[in-house]
Amino acid sequence: MTDLYFPTTEEQVSECICDHIVMEKSLDVRTGGSLISLGSPMNVASTLSLKELNQVKLYEPEELVITLEPGVLLSDLKNLLMEHNQELKFEPPDLGPLLGNDPGIGTIGGIIGTNLSGPKRFLAGGARDYILGVQGISGFGQIFKAGGRVVKNVSGYDVSKLMCGSYGTLGAITEMTLKLAPKAQDEISLKIHDLETETAIFLMTEIAACPYEVSGLAHIPGTGTFIRIEGTTASLDERIAAIRGLVGKRKVSELKREESEDQWRQIRDVAPLNPPKNLPLWKISIAASDVLDVINDHNPEFYFLDWAGGLLWMSSKDIPTFDKGAFWLIRNTETPLDLPFNKSPDPLIRNLNKRIKKAFDPKNILNPGRLGF
C-alpha cells in the first residue's frame, strides 16, 4: 500500500518532494494517472498526483498563449479554446480507451509529460513544439522555471522541451505555458479505397512533398488511405482538385467536415487497434522510407500508418528491430510479457540521459526507472 498525496498548491508539491528527499523514499509522479501504464515498471513508496492543480492561470486568446496547471482536463481545455475558435495544433490524443480507461479523463500534464502528438505531427510539429515555458519542482525540492510566455524566446536552455516527454522523471510540473493556434475554418478529407501499403506510402510521401499543406496522411490497411485538408473554405476546392490530380483514377470518396473530424479523431486515438487484440501494441517513429521494411520484417497481424508514413502503430509479439528510429510499448498483453518500454539508446546517449536525470533528481526519487535508466 503506497501513500497518496494530492497537493492543491505548488508549495505542497515542494513540501511532499522535500519530505521524500529527506526520507530517501521514491515517488510515483503523475497527473490523472490515465497514462501511467506507459513506461518501465517502477517500484515506488508513494504516489504524488498533480490532478488537483487544475487551474487555468492565464488565457490570452489574442496572444495565442495559455498558462495552466497540469491537472486541467483535456476535454475542458478543448472546450475553453473552442469558445475562441482556437486549438492545440499538435492534436493531443485521448489514449484512455486504448489503455483500458474511460475517455475524457486525460490531462494536459499527462500529454506534456509523455510528449504525445496527433496526426499533424509531420506538418506542424508535436507537443514539444508548442511548449513555451514550464515551472516545476525538481528532485532538489526547489521550484525552477524556464522559458516564458512569449513565442520567441532563447533566454537560457530550452528546459521546457527537456521536461516535455520526460515522464515525470525530472520534476513535477506545476505550471506550463503553451502556444495556441486558430482553428481552421473548414476541413475535408479524401479516402482512397484499396491501396496496397507500399503504394499508399509512396502516395503519402508524394503528397507531403506538395505545397498544399495537407494536415493528415494516414493509411489503415483494409479500410483506406486518408488525406486531410484544413484551411479557409475558399481554398479547399482548389487544394482538393490539385490532390485529386495526384491520386489519379483510383476510387476516392470525400469526407465532409464532421465525418472527417470523426475519422481523424479515431486515427489520433489509435482506435483502429482498439479493442485490444491481446498482442503487444507498439508505437514506432521512423523515416517514411524505412517503414515498409519494418512492416515486412515483422509481418504484424494488425497495423496502421500515420504522420505521412513516419509513424507505425503495430500489434506484434516481437520487439521491433530496426536501426534508426524509436519505439514505445504502448500496451502490453493481459498477462504482461517481459518487454522493454522503449528502444535502448546508444550507450553514450544513455549515459547522457542518466547524467541529466541526476542533474534534476540526484537521489533518483522521481519516477525512478520509468524511462529505463
Partner 1 sequence: MKMPDPEQEILDKLPDLTGRLVRLLSKKAVITSEQGRKAFESDGLTAYRQSPMIVALPSSTEEVSEILKICNELNIKVVPRGAGTSLSGGALPLADGLTLGLSKLNKIIDIDYQNRSVVTQCGVTNLAISHAVEDQGFYYAPDPSSQIACTIGGNVAENSGGVHCLKYGLTTNNILGLKMVLMNGDIIELGGKHMQESGYDLIGLVTGSEGLLGVVTEATVRILPKANVVKAMLIGFDDIELAGECVARTIAAGIIPSGMEMMDNMAINAAEDYCQPGYPRDAEAILIAEFDGVESEVDYFTQRVSELAKELGATSISISKSEEERNGFWAGRKAAFPAVGRISPDYYCMDGSIPRKNLPIVLRRMNELSKKYGLRVANVFHAGDGNLHPLILYDANVPGELERAEEFGSDILRLCVEVGGALTGEHGIGVEKRDLMPTMFTKDDLNQQERIKCAFDPAHRLNPGKMFPELHRCSELGKMHIHGGKLLFPDIPRF
**∠166-172-173 over CA atoms, to 5°?**
85
Residue 96 touches partner 1, criterion: CB under 8 A: no
Query: With 0-12 CB in 10 A as exposed, 13-18 as middle and 19+ as buried, what is 314?
Result: buried
Task: Provide the minimum distance between the beta carbon of 289 and partner 1 in the complex, in angstroms, as a whole number.
Answer: 5
Binding status of residue 228 toward partner 1 by CB under 8 A: no
Could you say which residues in the range 100-159 bind partner 1, by CB under 8 A? 115, 117, 121-122, 125-126, 128-129, 138, 140-146, 148-159
**Which residues from 229-288 bind partner 1, rule CB under 8 A?**
231-232, 234-235, 237-239, 242, 285-288
Which CB atom, from 4 or from 287, has the smaller least distance to partner 1?
A: 287
In the shown chain, the binding pattern of residues 176 to 215 toward partner 1, with x for contact by CB under 8 A and - for none, equals: -----xxx-x-------------------x--xxxxxx--
To partner 1, the closest distance from the beta carbon of 201 in angstroms equals 10
Size, binding site for partner 1 by CB under 8 A? 95
Candidate residues 62, 83, 334, 338; the one interacting with partner 1 per rule CB under 8 A: 62
**Cβ contacts of 11 within 8 Å, gap of 6 or more:** none
Least gap, CB of 351 to partner 1 (angstroms): 9
Closest alpha carbon to 19 in 109, 136, 139, 134: 139
The residue written with cell numbers 536525470 in the block is 357
Where in 4-43 is the site for partner 1 (CB under 8 A)?
18, 21-22
Q: Which of residues 104, 325, 332, 369 is near partner 1 by CB under 8 A?
A: 325
Instruction: Pick the binder of partner 1 from 52, 250, 363, 364 (CB under 8 A).
Output: 363
Query: Other CB atoms closer than 10 Å to residue 296's CB: what's the count?
Result: 10
Distances (CA, A) of 227 to 49, 120, 160, 209, 347: 39, 11, 32, 13, 39
d(CA 221, CA 219): 6
Residue 82 CB, nearest distance to partner 1 (Å)? 13
